[in-house]
Structure 1
Amino acid sequence: MPKPTKGPRLGGGPAHERLLLANLATALFTHKSITTTETKAKRLRPLAERLITFAKRGDLHARRRVMTVIRDKSAVHELFTQIAPLVAEREGGYTRITKVGYRKGDNAPMAVIELVLEPVNPKPKSAKKAKAAEAPAAPAAEEPQVDETEVESTDEAAVEEAPAAEATEESTEGDADSK
């Protein structure tokens, strides 16, 4: 007897459950976001994340493994060519589930499951690691030639202004002497 899967049971039997999840995954990869029941969204998340991990590998064997679950070639092509490059830097958490309320007909809790395609913002490192990483980088930041040229140009401007200031002082002194 086959061991039942963890979590809530969907559909009538295991084959129907596999087909239901495969169709949800196909819709998710095609539309980037779908609205379904919370239970189906929670069951879809591990399957979708595993398929995206295969797509990130990008080789032929990974494509064939994905094709065993998703039978739609256009959805698989979109997964490998458009979605996988967008999540290449992300180490997991490719999907987001947001609860949206209850369905009008049967009051079932509904949720939106969507792909997280935003770029990853790296978390700040701990204080010790951050100081160690910044210490070698700080002298390199002070050395650029751009800063030196700016300093030289301001020195030249100050030198050019100084004779003009001396000339005005001499003219005012000369005016004071003549009076």
Structure 2
Amino acid sequence: MAKYQKLGRDSSARKALFRAVVTALFDKERIETTEAKAKAVQSIAEEMITLAKRGDLHARRQALAYIYDESVVTKLFNQIAPRYADRNGGYTRVIRTGVRKGDAAPMAILELV
């Protein structure tokens, strides 16, 4: 049994999906996706915010290695991380929104608190 959700993808496709969703989350600050994807990506997003709170060059380079868009990394370090300076975790929330019409997949909103 896997310790993580495979989401019907091989490892490289899953990693690309997670990177894209995390990039979109920090760009838009609120995204709607399936509940499974939201729960899988939530911990990665929290780790990225913790990196940004550290704020040093190594943390920035680690974030750049994961997040696709450099401007999103700048936003993460300059705007998002300072908001959570005095907060220890719990930077994101998952809100269930019902099911998708086409395939009845449970949907959720993943947003920054």
TM (normalized to structure 1)?
0.61
> 1 or 2, which has the higher strand percentage?
2
Q: 5+ residue gaps in structure 1?
A: 117-179
Deviation at 1:46, TM superposition (A): 0.6
Distance verdict in 2 for CA 1:69–1:108, change over 3 Å: same
Deviation at 1:6, TM superposition (A): 1.9
Query: What SS does the corresponding residue of 1:12 show, helix, strand or coil?
Result: coil
In structure 1, the partner of 2:100 is 103
Query: What SS does the corresponding residue of 1:23 show, helix, strand or coil?
Result: helix
In structure 2, the partner of 1:40 is 37
Distance verdict in 2 for CA 1:86–1:5, change over 3 Å: farther
Query: What SS does the corresponding residue of 1:90 show, helix, strand or coil?
Result: coil
Q: Distance in 2 between matches of 1:64 and 1:11?
A: 30
- Of structures 1 and 2, the larger Rg is shown by 1
Alpha-carbon contact 1:96-1:113 (below 8 Å) kept: yes
Query: What SS does the corresponding residue of 2:89 show, helix, strand or coil?
Result: coil
Question: In the alignment, residue 112 of structure 1 is paired with which amino acid?
Answer: I
In structure 2, the partner of 1:112 is 109
Distance verdict in 2 for CA 1:5–1:74, change over 3 Å: farther
Q: Distance in 1 between matches of 2:71 and 2:88?
A: 25
Percentage of pairs with the same residue: 51
Q: Distance in 2 between matches of 1:74 and 1:5?
A: 34
In structure 2, the partner of 1:173 is none
1:50 to 47, 67, 82: 47
Residues 25-34 or 6-15, more deviating: 6-15
In structure 2, the partner of 1:16 is 13
Q: 5+ residue gaps in structure 2?
A: none
Q: Distance in 1 between matches of 2:28 and 2:34?
A: 17
Query: What SS does the corresponding residue of 2:109 show, helix, strand or coil?
Result: strand
Question: In the alignment, residue 12 of structure 1 is paired with which amino acid?
Answer: R
Bigger relative CO (Cα 8 Å, ≥ 6 apart): 2
Please provide the CA RMSD for this pair.
1.2
> 1 or 2, which has the higher helix percentage?
1
* CA deviation profile, 1:148-176 (whole Å, cap 9, x unmatched): xxxxxxxxxxxxxxxxxxxxxxxxxxxxx
